[in-house]
Amino acid sequence: MLDPEITPQEFLQQRSKPNPPILLDVREPWEFQTASLPNSILMPMGEITSRAHAELDPDQPIVVLCHHGQRSLSVTMWLRQQDFTHVQSLAGGIDAWSRTIDPGIPRY
């Protein structure tokens, strides 16, 4: 099984390949409006249990994103228990992405 976390650098490489992973943003709407990555799907952590099976494909690679990586890791582990086998958490969250990949993404 995949490592539960993926670094921003590894995710950047995956995003540039054909059929990149779905980017699942589990932060709150105000956080998403403050700073987000293009082509991400907003599904706040509190809505995961009611929406994941209806809106996500368990066979599709998914990278889960939050602010610093704690919520996304929790969601990643829950999704893996639900037989979503290709799920990883973005280590350090959008904050790490902003610091190491794209400083144009606001930090908060």
How much is the CA Rg of the chain, to the nearest whole Å? 13
Residue 72 has pLDDT above 80, yes or no: yes
pTM value > 0.95: yes
Express each pLDDT in 9-49 by its tens digit. Answer: 999 999 999 999 999 999 999 999 999 999 999 999 999 99
Q: Is residue 75 part of a domain?
A: yes
- Closest of 56, 65, 59, 55 to residue 88, by C-alpha: 65
Q: Are 71 and 26 in contact (CB under 8 A)?
A: yes
CATH number for position 74: 3.40.250.10
Is there a catalytic annotation at residue 66?
Answer: yes
Question: Is residue 104 helix, strand or coil?
Answer: coil
| Distances from the Cα of 84 to the Cα of 12, 64, 87, angstroms | 22, 12, 6
Q: How many domains does the chain have?
A: 1
Give the pLDDT band of residue 1 (cuts 50, 70, 90): confident
In the set 23, 24, 66, 94, the catalytic residue is 66
**Domain extent for 88:** 5-12+20-100
Mean of all residue pLDDT scores within the chain: 97
